Amino acid sequence: MTAPSPPDLALSLAAVRAAIAQAARQAGRDAQSVTLVAVSKQVEAARVAQALALGQRHFGENRVQESAAKWPDLRAQWPDATLHLVGQLQSNKAEEAVALFDVIHSVDRPGLVKALAVAMDRRGRRPDCFIQVNIGAEGQKGGCAIESLPDLIEAAHRAGLPVVGLMAVPPAEAEPTPYFALLARLARRHGLLRLSMGMSGDLAQAIAMGATDVRVGTAIFGARAALAPPAAEHVEPTR
Ligand SMILES: *Cc1c(COP(=O)(O)O)cnc(C)c1O
């Protein structure tokens, strides 16, 4: 069998935007209230440039190294692009991340809050931050435990991080809606307005539960190589 050919980006982007519009309509929401973050991890720069040329402006990456290689040239050509970090962040890469990204979705522990605060002061740059929650309490998944969330939010506020919302990835095999609803409830409780949730397979359910930032890779760019599985998000939960 031959590998499936990559999707036509104009078609796949239009289809994802239409799915967002439909889900928003069904939820009685304005489609403008949902930001499509095109997750371009493992996607080569030329193809990302195509998506930019088609008008897509928000992109998500999960690795600092890959983004540092790929994005400076793209940004030079499209200065109004917004770059989101959606993958786990090591504290020793905090400064590089602050220099590179406009939004960080994966703030999930006190040590990282400290490192980001120092990096933001040094760089004079303050990317919006989502606190990532391990919403399904999975063994090896990134995100802070639900019990630790109040303390982590407080620490982030105290450190001067611009906390805008919560982010989560529900357990792979489960019906996602209850997890999305729980994340929305937690965000409301803490007065946070944005919800980063919903991927290729569950963006409609996420929008129904209030997602403001959906992170969509496969449905736009096609299947990724199974090589190099990115760190935490793709580890099988231990059962
Ligand atoms: C890869 C990734 C996505 C995109 O997933 P798809 O299923 O390809 O849409 C979204 N969020 C995170 C955190 C990811 O690592």
- What pLDDT is attached to residue 43? 97
Query: Which residues lie below 8 Å from residue 29, measured CB to CB, with a gap of 6+?
Result: 207
Q: How confident is the model at residue 234 (pLDDT cuts 50, 70, 90)?
A: very low
Instruction: Give φ, ψ of 108 to 5 degrees.
Output: -140, 10
Residue type, 21: A
Cβ proximity of 60 and 40 under 8 Å: yes
- What pLDDT is attached to residue 5? 63
Mean pLDDT of the chain: 94
Tokens encoding 37: 């973050």
Q: Probe ligand 1: pick from 16, 62, 195, max atoms within 8 Å of CB? A: 62
- Residues 33, 187: Cα–Cα separation, whole Å: 16
Q: Which residue has the higher pLDDT, 131 or 229?
A: 131
- What pLDDT is attached to residue 140? 86
* CA 122 to ligand 1 center in whole angstroms: 30
Dihedral over Cα of 103, 115, 119, 152: its sign: positive
- Ligand 1 pocket (Cβ < 6 Å) reads 39, 41, 62, 86-87, 169, 199-201, 215-219, 230, 233
- What pLDDT is attached to residue 229? 52
- Hey, which bits of 156-212 come out as E strands? 163-167, 194-196
Cβ proximity of 47 and 221 under 8 Å: yes
**Over pLDDT 70: what percentage of the chain?**
92
